[in-house]
Amino acid sequence: MIRRKVIVRDAHGIHARPAARIVQACRGMNSKITICKGRRNADASSLLELLLLDAESGSEVEIVTEGMEEETAMRRVIDLF
């Protein structure tokens, strides 16, 4: 399991377009990817869960990856932030 904290840099936070990019990047990965903000957790392959995080610009989120490709998955998701 790998955990990394990142800051949401998009001016509008994690809204539909960035959330869709995250979902696309997570497709086909042989790892579970979770994005956490405060007490809320979202499966990174679920557009609706990502939108419900309410992660605005400047907020800190934690990315958690588990599985066979956890390092690759982490790099892919971090590159989007």
Selected catalytic residue, list 4, 15, 21, 32: 15
User: In sequence order, what are the residues at sequence separation of 6 or more whose Cβ sits closer than 8 angstroms to the Cβ of residue 59?
Assistant: 7, 8, 13, 37
- What is the token pair recorded at 71? 């390092």
12 in active site: no
Contact yes or no for 31/68 (Cβ under 8 A): yes
The catalytic residue positions are 15
